Amino acid sequence: MTTLCFLATYLFTVGCEAKNEQIVKLDKEFEVPLKLISEGEQGSARIRVRQHMDQQGESAQGFFIMGLSYHNEKRYAKAVEWFDGALSFDGPAYPPTLHFLGWSHYYLGNTTEAKEAFQRFLILQDHEPDSMFALGLIATDEGDEQKALKWFRKTIERCNQQPQLLQNIAAKSYARMSDILESRGNTDEAIAFYLRAIELNPKLYEVYHRLSNIYRRKGDEQLAENAQQQFFATRDIVRPDLRHTSFPE
């Protein structure tokens, strides 16, 4: 899920579900830096935030935006420093800080810290599907397939309530569920979920490769060949940098 898409979904769901709870929204002065981050202008975003904090003082949201700029550059260790700083301020934290802190820790391989951050975020926003999906990934990495399937099913259930906003997360959840089901020998169910995944997001090129392997093991050579050709075609569009490699074989 992209940064802007996540934040838009977060604000939408909080706005719809909140009753008497205090909603912590992003201050208007950080809207331009956030837009710059979404456009890949991380350095410009940081300059604007630093200028603002030099004039107005440091803030939790300023630190969040700084962390987000490094997160989007995949400089996750630096992102964690800023996100931790954002959470150290007195007063209510900007809740998405915990979500992106979780992903930064996840990409760094810090499973325990990632799980804690996602769980803390879900206390504040208990139906946010991308954090649910992340906990499914962590459970998979830990070898707890039952817990992983539970999280992926909860993610899909939540995504079904806002299908147009969240169909990519649902697609990834179907694909991950299929991986587990295939490993358990539930081939037909795995195929059905893989097909659902690419129906929701046809750009998930790795799914075509997995389908091709399953069809080939079943002896369905034509379906296997069709899926493999679709894999190459989709991969070349989504990841042209991999065109001249043997990925993922």
CB atoms < 10 A from the CB of 153, how many?
14
Residue 144 lies in a domain: no
Q: What is the CATH number of the domain that holds 8?
A: 1.25.40.10
Domain count, the chain: 1
Residue 209 lies in a domain: no
Residue 138 lies in a domain: no
Residue 164 lies in a domain: no
- 47 and 37 in contact (C-beta within 8 Å)? no
Residue 147 lies in a domain: no
What is the pLDDT of the chain when averaged over all its residues? 90
Q: Distance (Å, rounded) from C-alpha 55 to C-alpha 68?
A: 21
CB atoms < 10 A from the CB of 41, how many?
15
Residue 227 lies in a domain: no
pLDDT surpasses 50 at 172: yes
Q: Give the whole-number percent of the chain exceeding pLDDT 90.
A: 78
Residue 71 lies in a domain: yes
Burial 45-58 (b: 16+ CB within 10 A, else e): bbebbeebbeeeeb
Where in the sequence is the domain holding 56, given as residue range(s)? 1-126
Residue 224 lies in a domain: no
CB atoms < 10 A from the CB of 90, how many?
6
Q: Between 47 and 92, name the one with better pLDDT.
A: 47
Digit-coded pLDDT (tens) for 186-241: 999 999 999 999 999 999 999 999 999 999 999 999 999 999 999 999 999 998 88
Place of tokens 């990632």: 114
